[in-house]
Amino acid sequence: MKVLGLTGGIGMGKSAAADFFRARGIPVVDTDELAHLLVEPGQPALAQVVAAFGSRVARPDGQLRRDELARIVFADPAARKRLENILHPAIRARWRAQIETWRAEGRSLAVVVIPLLFETGAEAELDATICVACSAATQHQRLLARGWSPEQIHQRLQAQWPIEKKIAAADYVIWTEADLDLHAAQLDRILRCLNIRPPDRTPHSHRSAPGCL
């Protein structure tokens, strides 16, 4: 079974790409979704987060105050590192387990969505990586449309590699500046490439094959 890693900048189209994979019958595990599950009430990771950052990050009903936690960790790299040390090992264990389940089911291809794919060194466990990207101006417009302030956008961008570095490290790139039909067409070309010629894992270089991007 081949395992693809899907990454990219904030607001650059990871969710849309994941939906395209699912629409083609390819199983997808999203680490952002796993992170949300890990901090549900009663989960050990939530207790660790509250112990690390104080009761102010929990609501009276036991739910995590995500806005307050985000305010803390995106303003302080050391705090963000503490949170990552709590969540990242548990997230990786869960997506690894899901991949093994699909492997046992005889699946031929699966996708893991990992926003911090290269930052966490996850590419070593994957057969190929795909980065979705768009211009900085388009990204900024998309994030403003989410209701984020310029300061919030800046803080979150500082928490990740620059998109140029992600592009250089990825095996395939999907440019999401245009409409969703073109986004999907690029993804289909990548899938055809994988079927025609399996990855040879040349580090930090983009693959070339008949019909490839």
Q: What is the pLDDT of residues 31-87, one digit of tens each?
A: 999 999 999 999 999 999 999 999 999 999 999 999 999 999 999 999 999 999 999
180 Cα distance to chain centroid: 19
In the chain, where are the structural domains located?
Answer: 1-27+109-208, 34-106
What is the predicted pLDDT for the residue at 68?
Answer: 96
Architecture of domain 1-27+109-208: 3-Layer(aba) Sandwich (3.40)
On the question of pLDDT at 204 being above 70, the answer is no
Q: What is the DSSP string of the chain?
A: -EEEEEEESTTSSHHHHHHHHHHTT--EEEHHHHHHHHTSTT-HHHHHHHHHH-GGGB-TTS-B-HHHHHHHHTT-HHHHHHHHHHHHHHHHHHHHHHHHHHHHTT-SEEEEE-TTTTTTTGGGG-SEEEEEE--HHHHHHHHHHTT--HHHHHHHHHTS--HHHHHHH-SEEEE-SS-HHHHHHHHHHHHHHHHHS-----TT-----TT--
For 181-201, what is the mean pLDDT? 74
Residue appearing with tokens 């607001």? 11
CA 204 distance to own-chain centroid: 18
Please give the structure tokens belonging to residue 85.
Answer: 């040390």
- At residue 86, the pLDDT reads 97
Convert the pLDDT of each residue in 134-172 to its tens digit. 999 999 999 999 999 999 999 999 999 999 999 999 999
Token couple for 74: 């995106």
The model's confidence at residue 128, banded by pLDDT at 50, 70 and 90, is very high
Q: Which pLDDT does position 151 carry in this prediction? A: 94
Give which of 71, 43, 68, 44 is closest to 58, Cα–Cα: 68
Nearest to 170 by CA among 119, 102, 107: 119
Which CATH code, of 3.10.20.740, 3.30.2350.10, 3.40.50.300, 3.50.50.60, is assigned to 34-106? 3.40.50.300
Strands 172-175 and 28-30: unpaired
Q: Which of the pair, 119 or 209, is modelled with greater confidence?
A: 119
Q: What pLDDT digit, counting tens, does each position of 11-21 carry? A: 999 999 999 99
pLDDT of residue 14: 96
* Fold agreement (1-27+109-208, 34-106): yes
Instruction: Please tell me the predicted confidence (pLDDT) of residue 7.
Output: 98
Where do we find the tokens 């599950």? 37
Token pair for residue 174?
């999907």
pLDDT of residue 194: 83
Q: What is the pLDDT of residues 80-116, one digit of tens each?
A: 999 999 999 999 999 999 999 999 999 999 999 999 9
Beta bridge partners, 133, equal: 175
pTM equals: 0.87
- pLDDT tops 90 at residue 202: no
The confidence score (pLDDT) of residue 210 equals 35
Q: Could you tell me the CA-to-CA distances from 144 to 8, 22, 58, 67, 138 in Å, in that order?
A: 18, 27, 27, 16, 10
